[in-house]
Structure 1
Amino acid sequence: MHLVDMLEKPNWMIRIKSLQQSASSVKELVNEKIVAGRHLEAFSIQLVILAIWKQGLHICHAQAASDMEGSPSCGTSRLKRSSHKNGDHNSVECSSAVGNMRPEDVSHQIEGEFLQEVERAEQFAKSIEHGNIEMPDAMEMIFQSALALGRRGGVDELMGDSETALSLYSKAVHLLVFLLVEAHSLILNPPFSLTNSDRYRLRNYVEILNSRQVQLRLILKSDDQQCPT
């Protein structure tokens, strides 16, 4: 998904896909914290995942409401389908969703993801010592993790390990794009915001890392073509 598309956010499905990618990338970071035994940090970042899925639900509900307002017959057809269980199950769905997915369908999937992540958060909370504990800054940890991934990718690239470098650059970009595109819209405590300088710096990082990924893909493609069959 192109960064410009996500920044412009032309439709609800692109927003959902962006949030899904964000949740996946942040969840990977949570898992790393758990393996390292940093349960409080993992819990703090886990709360961000919950906020991501909440935002996804909000988008789906808003889109479903918009569809209903924009097409009165859609609501009528849904009522008919619900009151006639033995009716035609192949009737055309009234929806502006991409493909065959309606906002209600996507919302149902996200609800399942959200409940699973709530359970994980509850498990993490049990492993945290009670008392006056200062919660680590999840967004700062995500940012620092993205920078660390980029640095590790640079080292691997210099060492000639293009595939590992490409993977690390990609992970770094996903976290940076999350901070740049989605994080400010989440309900967090404290709220997250970026200055114009912050946004410029993040976009610059993303552009640099994307440029390195393009170069590495060309190198890997060239290597594949030179390999004897």
Structure 2
Amino acid sequence: MIQETTFQFLRNLEKNNTREWFNDNKNTYEYEKANFVDFCSELLEGLKLIQENLLYTDVKSCIFRINRDIRFSKDKSPYKTYFSAAFGPGGRSSGQIDFYIQLQDNETMLGGGMWQPTAENLGKFRQEIDYNPEELKNIINSDNFRNHFPEVHGQELVTSPKGYSKDHPEIELLRKKEMFFVKKFTNGEVLKKDFTEIMLTHCKVLKPYLDYLNELFEPTK
């Protein structure tokens, strides 16, 4: 389970986001990262029971580096102030829509869905909404899904996309440029002994939407 010391380390890192401080506290970082990896390992074992293509995925391949890519960023802080991981077949670089988790002080979250899709995949999404909107709507409008993920996130067009009428009955979905769902957790929730089970419950609810997207975006053979 996640320890309070992990949040304390992340708070300290946020206040002292320099390479000098990080190097001076490298041992603490390694200890707290190990706590996060242990949690992810337990979560991954639970995910393997609901998603067969994760069966041979190693937890270390799911963990993101804490170093930030600052090449094109005005913010030159060298480190992220959170631990993060993505659970797809083979790890974080699966190329599929996967479960993403981020452990951060007062901002811990689970997320997944259509985020920054390619033009091709966005076209597939809109075409499917045009032809068969009910499959997606049955997933995201179910009471169980809405209870766990009540809010849709992501960018959308102000007007209708090219090729679709502004009077289209599914225009709200067609305007989506992104469509992902997020569940945030308080520190108190994260520190509970049953937090892994809580996270798995939300993953099970999110899974049908991720499966829908992965099937839709599967490359044509």
Where on the TM-score scale, by shorter chain, does this alignment land: which range?
under 0.3
Task: Compare CA radii of gyration and give the structure with the larger one.
Answer: 1
- With normalisation by structure 2, the TM-score equals 0.24
Query: Greater share of helix residues, 1 or 2?
Result: 1
- With normalisation by structure 1, the TM-score equals 0.24
Query: Greater share of strand residues, 1 or 2?
Result: 2
